[in-house]
């Protein structure tokens, strides 16, 4: 009897360990044909940004090497590509791990139906969420809108996340005679080399993901709960791009965190806090699944007539370039530009300045992050921007406006984070590092800073812009 063959359609699961679709194929005797399809057309508005494409190229290279260079690379509409590949390779089945972006849900449903209609075996699996969004509902059958009951009552009480699956002991590759194409054909790497610093910072791929987690466990896990807010410290895991591309699954991270915590007597509060951050990721996907419009429409419609500043372009550009004259904001925006990643606390600070002090629509922030983050993720990015703007589910109330100066002093007390990313301020004394505009001429001179020349004057008056934002917020009260 000839062996059955299955296309394994890789997507946000670029790994061999704990890959349910691959596991299913190998344990059920299929010869596999791994395939990656770059489907920009179906993604439309949400086609991957520049930083994500850079990451994806490296990650595909890594997984293809683990697959002994058997991956087929194609660009085009996924349904057309799959139809053609089934014809060319004679595959009997198609298996994939599910994604939850609205455009993918719709596309994949259609593909699944048409494969079934053509009598091709099709199976889909959960490889990226600890709890399926449709499994967690309130007692009245409706979805949760608030994180704590969703996570504590809905998820944790429902069931423990499943254990990760092992890497297949043996993968048999189908002998299909079809041209695999080249990774380079996907043209993911830009011609201008703006990504050189990112190369020194990250190791995309399954091995890089596990190494990153290992480093965090040893150097940053203990003390996570308190120090996860400190951008000047190494107490966060920076695993987000690896999780986003599925180089490591949340199940693997969850299990590793819990096991390491127990064996090494890591305080329970650090373990629980880390797991609940994974819970925030789940909640973002949950919201995206149940309320797919949150990628662009206000979750709370009372924000629909919010008086955003229409004259935004100059301010927006200064914000994007890290030239706002507010050190902690500029440090964050430059960290993002240089490394493709920004510390969570600083994401909240730069977001608050944009949508509240500058009254610029959260869409502009969402779009910029989408293009520049290596962990750009439709679920977490849209939910987080709506959270920052106050328009989201369980969001920070709009009137809670971060003061970037006091945030800087609290979370980067020595100014080390600012000094790293805003080197023109490196000689400023600690008292003024977060507010150079308050330093006298002598201090500025000694630090070698001329405001307006070496470093910008602040983009807004923080107090006046706060008042302006609160006034603008009044309109949402009338609308509710």
Q: Is 82 in the site for ligand FAD (CB under 6 A)?
A: no
**277, 409, 416, 420: which one is catalytic?**
277
H-type helices in 151-249, by residue range? 196-201, 206-219, 224-227, 240-244
Closest residue by Cα to residue 360 from 311, 404, 400 = 311
Any idea what the Cα angle at residue 129 is, between residues 363 and 291, rounded to 5°?
A: 40
Beta strand 121-125 with 93-97: parallel, antiparallel or unpaired?
parallel
Is 347 a residue that touches ligand FAD (CB under 6 A)? Answer: yes
Q: Is 103 among the residues known to form the active site?
A: no
For residue 105, give the H/E element and its range. helix 102-117
Count of residues of this chain found to bind ligand FAD when the rule CB under 6 A is applied = 27
Q: Does 236 bind ligand FAD (CB under 6 A)?
A: yes
Does residue 344 have an active-site annotation?
Answer: yes
Active site residue 254: no
Q: How far is the CB of 27 from ligand FAD (least distance, A)?
A: 28
Task: Say which DSSP state 439 is in.
Answer: S
Q: Which is nearer to ligand FAD, 238 or 356 (CB)?
A: 238
The encoded tokens of residue 204 equal 């995309």
Which segment (109-117, 142-150, 378-386, 469-477) binds ligand FAD by CB under 6 A?
378-386
Q: Which helix (H) or strand (E) holds 465?
A: helix 462-479
Q: Which is nearer to ligand FAD, 217 or 373 (CB)?
A: 373
207 is catalytic: no
Residue 290, classified by CB atoms within 10 Å of its CB into exposed (0-12), middle (13-18) or buried (19+), is middle
The total of other beta-carbon atoms located within 10 Å of residue 448's CB is 12
Interaction of residue 59 with ligand FAD, rule CB under 6 A = no
Which one, 35 or 239, has the nearer CB to ligand FAD?
A: 239
Helices (H), 118-205: 147-148, 196-201
Question: Smallest distance from the beta carbon of 29 to ligand FAD, in angstroms?
Answer: 35
DSSP string, 317-353: HHHHHT-SS-HHHHHHHHHHHHHS---HHHHHHHHHI
Catalytic status, residue 214: no
Sole window of 7-15, 32-40, 323-331, 341-349 interacting with ligand FAD (rule: CB under 6 A): 341-349
CA–CA distance, 157 with 462 (Å, rounded to integer): 44
Terminal alpha carbon distance of the chain: 67
Among 373, 374, 422, 447, binds ligand FAD (CB under 6 A): 373
Residue 376 binds to ligand FAD (criterion: CB under 6 A): yes
Binding ligand FAD (rule: CB under 6 A), the pick from 91, 111, 122, 278 is 278
- Known catalytic residue at 416: no
Q: Which residues bind ligand FAD (CB under 6 A)?
A: 228, 236-240, 243-244, 277-278, 280-281, 284, 344, 347-348, 351, 369, 373, 375-377, 380-381, 384-385, 388
Task: Tell me the catalytic residues.
Answer: 277, 280, 308, 344, 362, 385
């Amino acid at each position: 009897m000839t062996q059955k063959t299955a296309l394994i359609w890789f997507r946000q699961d670029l790994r061999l360990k704990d890959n349910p679709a691959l596991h299913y194929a190998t344990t059920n005797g299929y010869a596999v044909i791994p395939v990656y399809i770059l489907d920009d057309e179906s993604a439309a508005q949400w086609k991957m940004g520049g930083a994500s494409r850079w990451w994806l190229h490296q990650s595909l290279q890594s997984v293809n090497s683990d697959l002994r260079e058997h991956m087929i690379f194609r660009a085009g509409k996924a349904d057309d590509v799959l139809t053609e590949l089934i014809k060319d390779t004679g595959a009997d089945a198609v298996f994939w791990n599910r994604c939850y972006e609205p455009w993918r849900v719709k596309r994949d449903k259609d593909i699944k139906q048409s494969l079934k209609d053509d009598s091709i075996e099709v199976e889909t699996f959960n490889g990226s969420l600890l709890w399926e969004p449709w499994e967690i509902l309130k007692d009245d059958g409706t979805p949760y809108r608030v994180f704590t009951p969703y996570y504590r009552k809905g998820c944790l009480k429902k069931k423990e996340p499943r254990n990760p699956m092992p890497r297949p002991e043996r993968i048999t590759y189908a002998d299909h005679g079809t041209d695999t194409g080249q990774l380079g054909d996907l043209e993911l790497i830009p011609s201008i080399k703006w990504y050189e610093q990112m190369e020194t910072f990250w190791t995309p791929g399954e091995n890089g993901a596990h190494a990153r987690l290992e480093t965090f466990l040893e150097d940053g896990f203990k003390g996570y709960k308190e120090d996860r807010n400190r951008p000047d410290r190494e107490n966060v895991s920076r695993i987000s791009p690896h999780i986003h591309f599925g180089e490591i699954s949340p199940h693997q991270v969850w299990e590793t965190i819990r096991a390491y915590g127990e064996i090494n007597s890591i305080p329970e509060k650090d373990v629980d806090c880390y797991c609940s951050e994974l819970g925030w990721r789940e909640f973002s996907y949950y919201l995206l699944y149940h309320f797919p419009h949150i990628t662009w429409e206000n979750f709370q419609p009372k924000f629909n007539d919010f008086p955003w500043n229409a004259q935004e372009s100059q301010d927006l550009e200064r914000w994007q370039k890290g030239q706002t004259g507010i050190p902690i904001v500029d440090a964050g925006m430059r960290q993002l530009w240089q490394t493709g990643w920004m510390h969570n606390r600083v994401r909240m600070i730069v977001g608050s300045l944009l949508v509240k002090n500058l009254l610029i629509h959260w869409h502009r922030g969402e779009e910029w992050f989408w293009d520049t983050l290596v962990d750009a993720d439709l679920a977490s990015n849209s939910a987080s921007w709506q959270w920052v703007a106050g328009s989201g589910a369980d969001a920070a109330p709009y009137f809670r406006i971060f003061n970037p100066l006091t945030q800087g002093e609290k979370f980067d007390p020595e100014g080390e984070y600012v000094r790293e990313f805003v080197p023109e301020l490196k000689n400023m004394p600690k008292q003024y590092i977060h507010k150079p505009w308050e330093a006298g001429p002598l201090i500025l001179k000694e630090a070698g800073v001329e405001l307006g020349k070496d470093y910008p004057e602040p983009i807004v008056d923080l107090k006046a812009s706060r008042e302006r934002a609160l006034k603008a917020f009044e309109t949402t009260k009338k609308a509710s």
